[in-house]
Structure 1
């Protein structure tokens, strides 16, 4: 039988739980969200929920089989790399923010949903592979991604920031909410920067009417990442604004700004090297490199904007200013040209609502 805590603590409770005198966790009240944006983002995320099983990927087999082996390898490596990054974000990215200092209960709830969707994203790439590739090629794809040294260096950067004061010299000297802001900024660099850059090969092929259903999954992921980057960037801005009232934190935030600038520049350099290396596996994809690098810069600058200051990406120079119109047109997340209502659901799929019939409907 449960103890009636209104009558005091049970005998021996203080010896077993000497620190826990009541709970510090309060019930989250969604009737009074901390900020209106919290409820808006919750509603947006829940209405956007999707699963990869709803997309008819087998329709892409014909165009996939027409691609040369090198191009297939480039696409496969980009998606396997994204799987690895999504796994990192699901296990460490959003979860490290959930109970961090300065995070409100409503923000924590939204971050929990983000964590779940990152796992869905990682799952979606396996759905693509199981449709387009034999088992041995799938094993090869994941092995290659797991052994990618440049990708591993990027992941080391994220893990260092997410684990905070355990490793990072800058984080070791930051007070709680400021350390949370640093983690949020790092998360945005993954959500708005590296994820989007990895989508390029599929978007490029979709512009040529190839892998259009795979591109629909990518657009669903982009729709989620747009919300994630915007929302987590908003948490960063909120923490920065709240700290602005304290003169003692001015130096700390100057260091945070330098950290963000340096990180965007460093991630750009590593990802540029990756693109130049693995796009060269295909004569077709080799020609994509200049535009892919423009897209890389575009996404770096988008990450800076989501953090509230485009100057965070000022060291990228002209990269991002001349992305091809073809790729920019593929960034729309409401493309439904591949599906009718009955055959499958694409990125513009909307679940129908039910309304009771009334006598007036027959007039």
Structure 2
């Protein structure tokens, strides 16, 4: 147990404080965004479109819950430096903010029975449950490098099968307030993936060459396994909308970003990705997320926060 205190007057490793300050600058809550104003757009979606939106959000909720409760806390526990622990703890907090935002969307757009159905779907969806089980095992049983690889794979690659559809709709001017929520979440995940990738690269560089080769092979095996599982998940979730091929391109694009963050060789060739979704993740130069200028870039501004009531939801729906 530590008997010292955090000294923020010291530069530390030279980069952690910048990430802490940036996450602080990006701090947001779903109550600050008038998502109920998307009620008319929601009603205009077809049943298949609403189901897809609900299910991608449900899957993201499940994985963000795991990342906030297990992944980030275990990454923090593996660090000795106080500044790093504090930064990872703030990241964990934001993962729970993300999970809550999906739940608030459920409260706004779904009936009680539809919401229950979404949670039941999480527990029954085989690819999602396989992913939850695998990541929990990697976090709880893996070494520090394995946990970092897992965290980057989840936040920089696998989340994006779920992000695709809300960003795709928002790019067409539909569900734009929820689209802003997803853009803010993407900015957070970009920050987290970049930071954890730097921690990984630091440890990786200290290994002898034979151990580096073993870690590279382990990462590629994990990445390929998770990619195949994500393709199965994507095929089921997007089947009715015939978007699975587009989603997989987006996922492969973000797998390559994950490799960049870890300083490892890219897994997939470059290919054209739907510009509507690329715009939603605020890319710069086609390869990295511009999280240092995100807040306010998409029109996000804080509103006066009042508790979300059933009456407010009904008013939005009746508008």
Tell me if both proteins adopt one fold, taking TM over 0.5 as the criterion: yes
Q: Provide runs of 4+ in structure 1 moved above 4 Å.
A: 333-344
SS of the counterpart of 2:252? helix
Distance 2:138 2:127 in 1: 17
Larger Rg: 1
Cα deviations by residue, 1:272-307 (Å, 9 ceiling, x for unpaired): 111111211x2xx21x22211100101111111111
Q: CA RMSD in A?
A: 1.9
| CA offsets 1:64-111 (integer angstroms, 9 cap, x no match) | 1011101100110000000000010011101111121x5422111101
Contact 1:162 1:183 in 2 (8 A): yes
Alpha-carbon separation, structure 1, partners of 2:59 and 2:302: 32
Pick aligned residue for 2:10 from 32, 37, 40? 32
Superposition TM-score, scaled by structure 1 size: 0.77
Partner of 2:34: 56
1:277 aligns with 2:236: yes
What CA distance in whole angstroms lies between the structure 1 residues aligned with 2:277 and 2:300? 21
List alignment gaps of at least 5 residues for structure 1: 1-22, 165-170, 172-178, 345-363
1:107-118 matches, within 5 Å, as 107-118=84-95
1:195 corresponding residue in structure 2 = 159
Query: SS in structure 2 opposite 1:49?
Result: coil
Aligned match for 2:103, one of 121, 126, 143: 126
CA deviation after TM superposition for structure 1 residue 337, in Å: 6.0
- Structure 2 residue aligned with 1:106: 83
2:159 alignment partner, SS class: helix
Which one scores higher on RCO, CA 8 angstroms, separation ≥ 6?
Answer: 2
Determine whether 1:90 maps to 2:54. no
- Matched residue SS, 1:142: helix
Kindly tell me: are residues 301 and 340 of structure 1, through their superposed partners in 2, closer, same or farther at Cα, counting changes over 3 Å? closer
Q: TM-score, normalised by structure 2?
A: 0.87
User: Could you tell me how far apart the structure 2 residues matched to 1:255 and 1:117 are?
Assistant: 33
Which residue number in structure 1 is paired with residue 254 of structure 2? 299
Change in Cα spacing, 1:273 to 1:340, as seen in structure 2 (3 Å) is closer
- Deviations along 1:210-269, one digit per CA (max 9) or x if unpaired, are 10000010011111111100001110011112x24xx4xx33322211111111111111
Deviation at 1:308, TM superposition (A): 1.1
Aligned residues: 294
Q: Which of 254-263 and 68-77 deviates more? A: 254-263
Which residue is equivalent to 1:8? none
Q: 1:58 and 1:338, CA in 2 relative to 1: closer, same or farther beyond 3 A?
A: farther
1:135 counterpart (104, 108, 112): 112
Whole-angstrom distance in 2 between the partners of 1:327 and 1:82: 17
1:81 to 30, 50, 59: 59
Q: Which runs of 5+ in 2 are unaligned?
A: 283-293, 306-319
